[in-house]
Amino acid sequence: MPTYTPPLRDMHFVLHELFDVTAQLKQLPPHGEIDADTINAVLEEGGKFAAEVITPLNLSGDSEGCTLDKATHEVTTPKGFKAAYQQYVEGGWPALSCDTAYGGQGLPHVVNQCFYEMLNGANQAWTMYPGLSHGAYEALHAHGTDEQKSLYLPHLTSGEWTGTMCLTEPHCGTDLGMLRSKAEPQADGSYKITGQKIFISAGEHDMVSNIVHLVLARLPGAPEGSKGISLFLVPKFLVNADGSLGARNTVFCSGLEHKMGIHGNSTCQITLEDAVGTLVGEPNKGLQAMFVMMNTARLGVGNQSLGLTEVAYQNAVAYAKERLQMRALSGPKAPNLPADPIIVHPDVRRMLLTARAYAEGGRALSVYTSLQLDISLAHPDEAVRNAAADEVAILTPIVKAFITDNGWNATSQCMQVFGGHGYIHETGMEQFVRDARINMIYEGTNAIQALDLLGRKVLADGGHRMRTFGQKITAFVEEYGTREDMQEMIEPLSDLGARFTKMTQGIGMKAMGNADEVGAAATDYLRVAGHLVFAYLFARMAVVALDKKDSGDPFYQAKLATAGFYYAKLLPEVVSLMRTGRSGLKPLMAMDESMF
């Protein structure tokens, strides 16, 4: 059975030594009193919950899966899931970053994001039940009426209820403009909603007394396409004015998806038959309200793969240190044993270091983005808030797509370390691979994230937001460019920044002649952007580690070694990506459709 150890030492490094989050949080009125000891204590306890309570349920939950009673439409989660959730609620964990006005603890998002990394590393399928609730909470907090907030947010904050996002329909996936679910206005101001939704994570389960569905549907006479979508709040049980539960609503699970991974989470087909709902936000502007939830979910999905990358790495390292096989090519490293442990072999180290680098780079990016989110929400200076929001906008698709692509790579590499044993369920490695694969698909496929980054976030504003972020990299290069011990990173980082600018300009010029050029280059472009951000963050981490390398703490030497590996073995991928990205539309469209 796989194990999980919360990566608290590296979290502390990123939070306090790299970004000095407490100094930045003190500038935000809601978080001015928080200190490092408080953050560390929360994460230590959160790590214990992840490692001791839900890690043991990961393998068994995958084997058991969820069960649907077709007569009652009720879903039973795997053994132990419900009890673990109750322990989660009793510990106050759902309220960690929620508004104190609704019973929350008011801690910053950056702390909650670190906590959720550990939950995902311990058990992604279980974590999805409370995880979706954060998106529902954020959407209602931003766009709900006062009545909706007072009735629903306290229960979502406490974890007494959970939330979902009901977007996809059988005939349309990402293209939500094609959805057919309809909402009929009623005399009392409510709506009756009818339709079919699929792929609804945590859409039905037995862990809470009520489930709050946020549902996209069309009003009568609504404009065609995405401009005619409205958002509705549809509870499993109707909620009375005093907050108590009323009658069972006509929204139910009509089927469970049979999936490749995340078996412990109920991925539901949801049927609505004149289900009672209330409008969230303005009519025909539901997609704007839903994007609050979707962007929260996209950051969460990147975090899911970060957690899987970390846990896969930990177990692969433990195995590589114990597994004896062959001798090192340069001679025995453990002459007292019949063979050397496989960690002595260079290619095994390559696989392990790939996962380690992607975990450490992903953690730095996740924390940085979450910190910018906190700043965008609470800084007293509007200009600072707007600048932080711009960074969150360009980094969100990178967090979602780059970290999940890397997670798929890393978990696969770690399974390979186990050899044939990695293919066996009991080791847990093949589950990490299966679970990681969904993260590249849902909440907008990674190609959609790439189009969002290049089309909406870069070209649409003339590259302003990306240039502004690039100025931080330029300032860093100028500040540390003369340090001899940083040349291994400064020169490649500076060179990549310049070439990335030219790549952006080149794609932009092509796109002026044919917009499909954006689609041809987007996936390569996002991956180059991801490496640019990782290279910048690894260089920043290296500065901190170099200044402390003689402290006697081997952590800093390990950090430098990981950064060196990233620059030498992973970053050079950008050379081929830039070439394929510049190759344009022609190689993709040269073949006639009839020839496929």
The predicted model scores a pTM of: 0.97
- H helix runs in 165-285, sequence order: none
The count of domains in the chain is 3
Compute the distance between CA of residue 186 and CA of residue 191 in angstroms, rounded to an integer: 5
Note whether 233 and 174 are same-domain residues.
yes
Note whether 31 and 128 are same-domain residues.
yes
Q: Which domain holds residue 104?
A: 8-143
What is the 8-class DSSP label of residue 186?
A: -
- Residue where a domain stops, chosen among 284, 309, 324: 284
- 510 domain residue, yes or no: yes
- 365 domain residue, yes or no: no
Confidence band, pLDDT 50/70/90 cuts, at residue 171: confident
Say if CB 438 and CB 259 are below 8 A apart. yes
The pair of structure tokens assigned to 262 is 């995340």
- 402 domain residue, yes or no: no
- 414 domain residue, yes or no: no
pLDDT for residue 391 is more than 90: yes
Catalytic residue among 391, 443, 484, 593: 443
pLDDT tens digit sequence for 530-588: 999 999 999 999 999 999 999 999 999 999 999 999 999 999 999 999 999 999 999 99
Mean pLDDT across the chain, nearest whole number? 96
Q: CATH number of the domain that 50 lies in?
A: 1.10.540.10
Note whether 133 and 236 are same-domain residues.
no
- 222 domain residue, yes or no: yes
Q: What is the pLDDT of residue 82?
A: 98
- 432 domain residue, yes or no: no
What is the 8-class DSSP label of residue 372?
A: H
Say if CB 64 and CB 79 are below 8 A apart. yes
Note whether 169 and 135 are same-domain residues.
no
Confidence band, pLDDT 50/70/90 cuts, at residue 172: confident
Annotation marks residue 224 as catalytic: no
- 397 domain residue, yes or no: no
Q: What is the mean pLDDT of residues 35-41?
A: 97
Note whether 186 and 97 are same-domain residues.
no
What one-character-per-residue DSSP string does 470-518 give?
HHHHHHHHHHHTT-GGGHHHHHHHHHHHHHHHHHHHHHHHHHHH-THHH
Note whether 67 and 172 are same-domain residues.
no
pLDDT tens digit sequence for 355-368: 999 999 999 999 99
Note whether 138 and 177 are same-domain residues.
no
Confidence band, pLDDT 50/70/90 cuts, at residue 296: confident
pLDDT for residue 292 is more than 90: no
Note whether 125 and 174 are same-domain residues.
no
- 306 domain residue, yes or no: no
Q: What is the pLDDT of residue 174?
A: 76
Q: CATH number of the domain that 209 lies in?
A: 2.40.110.20
The helices-and-strands tally (H runs, E runs) of the chain is 18, 11
Note whether 268 and 196 are same-domain residues.
yes
- Residue where a domain stops, chosen among 284, 309, 335: 284
Note whether 61 and 172 are same-domain residues.
no
Note whether 212 and 260 are same-domain residues.
yes
- Residue where a domain stops, chosen among 225, 253, 284: 284
Note whether 132 and 251 are same-domain residues.
no
pLDDT tens digit sequence for 312-370: 999 999 999 999 999 999 999 999 999 999 999 999 999 999 999 999 999 999 999 99
Q: What is the pLDDT of residue 456?
A: 94
- In sequence order, what are the residues at sequence separation of 6 or more whose Cβ sits closer than 8 angstroms to the Cβ of residue 384? 375
Compute the distance between CA of residue 132 and CA of residue 149 in angstroms, rounded to an integer: 17
